[in-house]
Structure 1
Amino acid sequence: MELRDYIRILHKNWILILALLVLGLAGGAGYAALQAPKYVASTQLYVSVRTEGAATGDLVQGTTFARQMVTSYVDVINTALVLDPVIDELGLDTTAGKLAPQVSASAPLNTVLIDISVTDGDPEQAAVIANAVAGSFTDVVQNTLEQPASEDGASPVLVTVTEPAVAPTAAASPNVRMLIALGGLLGLAFGIGIAMLRTVLDTRIHTLHDLEEITDRPMLGGIAFDPEAQKRPLIVHADPRSPRAESFRSLRTNLQFLDVEGGGRVFVVSSAGPGEGKSTTTANLAIALAETGARVALVDGDLRLPRIADYMGLEGGVGLTDVLIGRVDVADALQKWGKNELFVLTSGRVPPNPSELLGSAAMNQVLQPLGEYFDYVLIDAPPLLLVTDAAVLGKKTRGVILVAASGKTKKQELAGAVRTLATAGVDLLGTIVTMLPTKGPDSYGYGSYTYGSTHTTEQAEPELSQAQAKPKRRTTAKA
């Protein structure tokens, strides 16, 4: 992925990332609030060797000896030999093994100093224990570990308290700021990780880049998502100045310049699966083409689940199936729609053998005159992955235009549809992306802007009455 892909992922999942960041900060603060405060009191000891009246060489040797012994003395401080007297002196209700984790000792490198620290929940208690440990250690070193040479003599090692422990004024732990920052960092990392995982596991079509991974055929247009598409499917007619209607006009322009190597402009519009907007796209594209003055035939080739008659508000009792079985002529079955040269051939009654009818010689006899008379013939076909009807029709026409819904069509489904067309030897002329979001990282600006005022049909052009939208069954078109 490129840098812009990572930016798009962060932009798309910023709410999730922000929520987990806040949750991490709150978790760190909550964990810090649950921790009991701990106080640390420290004392420092100085270890030396008695060298009264000694020469300089003896002083050097004594200092070297003290440095060597300090390391061993540090390990002695946490033993029962030192801690048991402290427990007895202070009357603590504990043992040396339990007290040892509270006591820590260290010796700075190349020094004869020993630092003793005691951690406790009570600052006063911490200071008392630290001073008691220093006193007990001094007694153990001078009277047990380094015993005097004689009964009235002094120990050769002298331990001096250079800095007694005092009660600390501030708790050493928990470190609230550090815990909050750590929680926020973990939450941020977790949020970004989930965002990346969602992107990797999401196999749906979202962007033009997703299409380019599957096919090199051009994208003819992008149709913006409209939550009211079910209420007003014919947006080009219902609201001709809306941004979504303009996207169909852009699709119309791209289709007009599509190189089909001459011949009739007979196109099949299909999709990989159902519910991707192929029927509404075909109907609106037909209306947009008719607005230019072109003669357009809209054929409902979905003989299994026809939608065109409902969308166009036409009677669908007589249609393509009746023409294919020879009951009526194609000229009699065509119904004029609207004020322009748009004629609709509905599907008719649902037959038991749709694929056989669409692949028959009778279908050739229907498409040939339609292609000769009309400038554009758009055939709405069933989904490619469910039935073979679209591939059968594609062999009889210039090719197939695939519709894919942003955020719904899966990449493997679209790739399967492309393979189906390639296996059948059908040309894939291009793709149309529907349901594109108008905002966000996947929008690409489709439907975001319009030029001039956006008026409804009532403001711009009165809607056709039912009588105008439903023309006579017999027309003057001679297909």
Structure 2
Amino acid sequence: TLRTVVITSASPGEGKTTTAANLAVSFAQQGMRVLLVDCDLRRARLHKLFDLPREPGLTELILGNGDVEQLSRTTDVTGLYVMPAGQLPPNPAELLGSDATRRVLAGLAEAYDMIIIDTPPLLAASDAAILATIADGVIVVLRAGATESAAAQQAMQQLNAVGARIVGAVLNDPDAQVPRYGAYYRYDYAGSGR
């Protein structure tokens, strides 16, 4: 069963936070009770998207300084709740890799129909790979014309190395200037003199 999903990308600026928010809204609009969790503790953005305070949030929940009802925030979307990042801890990767985080995420999965987890980019910090081992699945966000193939391959290798279950990929900005099949076809066949 897919109840906890990590949303990540290879590098910054590929649209993972917006994708996570849109996916969470979509599930909530289908009648699910959804919690969107900001696990990008270093560069938290979900609280800004939903006009919420950053603190208290996930960090405080993991450290035992509050409960889910206190720290998750309602939104204008029925069924959608947001858990902001909370205070920036001195050691984000260590905190997110802790047994306490595993217990918290397991508890959240019991309280909500779906948990969408926004993480840092894979190549920027180890946090996403750590969280991928806890989640039921991972969705990788790529930006057309921006994500370098070597970076995408390295990100996938990191996920495979930790045994993550990659359940999909999202291609953002598909109208970016990238070679299309049609252009390839014309170059190879139409221009070959056949």
> When the two structures are superposed, what TM-score results if normalisation uses the length of structure 1?
0.37
Residue 53 (structure 2) pairs with residue 301 (structure 1) = no
Match in the other structure for 2:190: none
Q: CA deviation at 1:366?
A: 1.2
Which one of the candidate residues 158, 162, 172 is aligned to 1:424? 162
Which one of the candidate residues 68, 81, 94 is aligned to 1:343? 81
Q: CA deviation at 1:338?
A: 1.2
Q: Give the 4+ runs in structure 1 shifted more than 4 A.
A: 438-444
Deviation sequence 1:31-83 (CA, Å, 0-9, x none): xxxxxxxxxxxxxxxxxxxxxxxxxxxxxxxxxxxxxxxxxxxxxxxxxxxxx
User: What letter matches 1:313 in structure 2?
Assistant: D
Match in the other structure for 2:186: none
Match in the other structure for 1:376: 114
* Residues in 1 aligned to 2:89 and 2:34: alpha-carbon distance in whole angstroms: 26
Unpaired segments ≥5 residues, structure 1? 1-261, 445-479
Counterparts of residues 46-195 of structure 1 (less than 5 Å): none
**3-state secondary structure, aligned to 2:36:** strand
Which one of the candidate residues 249, 259, 271 is aligned to 2:9? 271
Percent identity among equivalent residues? 40
Decide whether the 8 Å contact of 1:330 with 1:366 is kept in 2. no
Q: 1:414 to 1:441 in 2, by over 3 A?
A: closer
Match in the other structure for 2:126: 388
Match in the other structure for 2:66: 328
Q: 1:424 to 1:439 in 2, by over 3 A?
A: closer
* Residues in 1 aligned to 2:178 and 2:148: alpha-carbon distance in whole angstroms: 20
**3-state secondary structure, aligned to 2:173:** strand
* Residues in 2 aligned to 1:424 and 1:438: alpha-carbon distance in whole angstroms: 32
User: What letter matches 2:45 in structure 1?
Assistant: R
Match in the other structure for 2:30: 292
Q: CA deviation at 1:284?
A: 1.2
Residue 125 (structure 2) pairs with residue 363 (structure 1) = no
Q: CA deviation at 1:373?
A: 2.2
Which one of the candidate residues 168, 172, 181 is aligned to 1:434? 172
**3-state secondary structure, aligned to 2:142:** strand
Which one of the candidate residues 301, 310, 319 is aligned to 2:57? 319
* Residues in 1 aligned to 2:100 and 2:136: alpha-carbon distance in whole angstroms: 18
* Residues in 2 aligned to 1:420 and 1:314: alpha-carbon distance in whole angstroms: 32
User: What letter matches 2:76 in structure 1?
Assistant: G
Q: 1:421 to 1:439 in 2, by over 3 A?
A: closer
Decide whether the 8 Å contact of 1:436 with 1:443 is kept in 2. no
Counterparts of residues 245-264 of structure 1 (less than 5 Å): 262=1, 264=2
* Residues in 2 aligned to 1:443 and 1:284: alpha-carbon distance in whole angstroms: 28
Q: CA deviation at 1:330?
A: 2.0
User: What letter matches 2:83 in structure 1?
Assistant: L
Q: 1:344 to 1:391 in 2, by over 3 A?
A: same
Decide whether the 8 Å contact of 2:34 with 2:112 is kept in 1. yes
Pair member with larger Rg = 1
User: What letter matches 2:78 in structure 1?
Assistant: N
* Residues in 1 aligned to 2:178 and 2:124: alpha-carbon distance in whole angstroms: 32
Greater relative contact order, per chain length (Cα 8 Å cut-off, separation 6+): 2
Decide whether the 8 Å contact of 2:93 with 2:127 is kept in 1. yes
Q: 1:346 to 1:404 in 2, by over 3 A?
A: same
Counterparts of residues 21-40 of structure 1 (less than 5 Å): none
* Residues in 1 aligned to 2:39 and 2:140: alpha-carbon distance in whole angstroms: 15
* Residues in 1 aligned to 2:180 and 2:78: alpha-carbon distance in whole angstroms: 36
Q: CA deviation at 1:399?
A: 2.2
Question: Root-mean-square deviation (CA), in Å?
Answer: 1.8
* Residues in 1 aligned to 2:139 and 2:85: alpha-carbon distance in whole angstroms: 20
* Residues in 2 aligned to 1:401 and 1:436: alpha-carbon distance in whole angstroms: 17
Give the structure with the larger helix fraction: 1
Deviation sequence 1:199-218 (CA, Å, 0-9, x none): xxxxxxxxxxxxxxxxxxxx
**3-state secondary structure, aligned to 1:283:** helix
Q: CA deviation at 1:429?
A: 1.4
* Residues in 2 aligned to 1:438 and 1:358: alpha-carbon distance in whole angstroms: 35
* Residues in 2 aligned to 1:286 and 1:425: alpha-carbon distance in whole angstroms: 24
Match in the other structure for 1:405: 143
* Residues in 1 aligned to 2:179 and 2:12: alpha-carbon distance in whole angstroms: 26
> When the two structures are superposed, what TM-score results if normalisation uses the length of structure 2?
0.88
Deviation sequence 1:91-149 (CA, Å, 0-9, x none): xxxxxxxxxxxxxxxxxxxxxxxxxxxxxxxxxxxxxxxxxxxxxxxxxxxxxxxxxxx
**3-state secondary structure, aligned to 1:436:** coil
